[in-house]
Amino acid sequence: MTKQDNSLVIASDIGGTHITAALVDICQWQVISESTARHAVNSHADAKSILSAWASPFKEVIANHPTLASPMIGIAMPGPFDYEGGISRMRDQDKYDNLYGMDIRRELAERTDVEGVNIRFINDAAAFLQGEVFAGKHNGHAKMLGITLGTGLGSAVWEKGSNAVDADLWKTPYLDSNMEEHLVTRWFVRRAAQYGIKVTGLRELLQLREQHTFVEDILAEYSHHLIQFLTFFSEQEKTEKFIIGGNISRAWNIFYGFDPDGFAQFDIHISQLGEDAALIGAAALFAS
């Protein structure tokens, strides 16, 4: 790695089970793939263990690229989170409860030797949408909505001339609880359990399609919930243009097949950048 200037930023995407860090060239909007470090994280562990796991890939990238004189770190972080202050507000989210109220910026600065002012945070859904819009060349539109489907429900809005912002729709009341509880991994776990089947998520459930007819019912039900959320989000923001990402979106063709007409009312793009989108969006925190 010979290039060293302000175009290189260490970007990170933190999920419910992992953290990925990599260098991003913010002039070319590209992830330097050979720099990528990915570590597993137990989101139910104690605070010290989580923070050590989060710091590890940053230290790995820095150690492998010693020409980074003053490293800058942009982090795509799930909410609730005080992104300006760097304080975790996650509680009762089935992840990272033990970090509630902690100054994550200070903790990571101490563990990585990176100055606190060079550590910035962005909502993970907003980072995903920001990265998809620019690296995916969707910035010709006036407005785009982003949804991430995984261990949590992310939602974001991008408008031309502005950075993407968190729409914070996970807690929108829906049926007996809220939108998130019907659109994330744990929903599949709960629904399968109601049929006496134990799975850890959608992937395992899909492997049971030929053995159990009820799997089709669960998938069709999820498809219905997703259309309800798209309709709500679209009506609120007055646009039908969506980019959908997250692990669950990999099964998009399956969900689409249950109600093509229902989904056809929206202009939907499925993420082509995968995790790179959130990394690029997080790195953009340092773009001038």
For residue 1, is it within any domain?
no
In a domain, 132, yes or no: no
Residue 134 lies in a domain: no
CB atoms within 10 A of CB 4: 12
The answer to whether residue 258 sits within a structural domain is yes
User: In whole angstroms, how far apart are CA 150 and each of 30, 153, 182, 208, 250?
Assistant: 24, 7, 11, 20, 10
The CATH number for 243's domain is 3.40.367.20
226 plus 202 within the same structural domain? yes
Q: 145 and 261: one domain?
A: yes
pLDDT average per 10 residues of sequence, the chain (288 residues): 66 93 93 95 96 97 90 93 95 90 98 96 93 83 94 92 90 96 97 96 96 96 98 97 94 97 97 90 88
Same domain membership, residue 150 and residue 119: no
Residues 111 and 149 in one domain: no
- By DSSP bridging, strand 143-149 and strand 241-245 are parallel
Considering the domain boundaries, does residue 79 fall inside one? yes
Q: What is the span of the domain harbouring residue 31?
A: 8-126+276-286
For residue 136, is it within any domain? Answer: no
Nearest CA to 159 among 143, 145, 147?
143
- Burial class (CB within 10 angstroms; exposed 0-12, middle 13-18, buried 19+) of 190: exposed
Indicate whether 12 and 101 sit together in one domain: yes
Residue 170's nearest CA partner among 254, 128, 220, 232 is: 232
> How does DSSP classify residue 98?
G
Whichever domain contains 30, its CATH number is: 3.30.420.40
225 with 110, same domain: the answer is: no
Which residues lie closer than 8 Å to 183 by C-beta, 6 or more apart?
A: 149, 153, 222, 225, 226, 229, 248
My answer on whether 184 and 120 are in the same domain is no
pLDDT of residue 114: 96
Residue 135 is predicted with a pLDDT of 85
Query: Is 133 a member of any domain?
Result: no
Name the domain count of the chain.
Answer: 2
Q: Both 25 and 107 in a single domain?
A: yes
Q: Is residue 131 part of a domain?
A: no
Taking CA atoms, 39 is separated from 1, 12, 17, 111, in Å, by 22, 11, 9, 16
Q: Are 257 and 164 members of one domain?
A: yes
Are 184 and 199 within one domain? yes
Q: pTM, whole model, 2 decimals?
A: 0.83
pLDDT tens, position by position, 37-70: 999 999 999 999 999 999 999 999 999 998 888 8
Indicate if 74 and 148 belong to the same structural domain: no
Assess whether 157 and 250 both reside in one domain.
yes
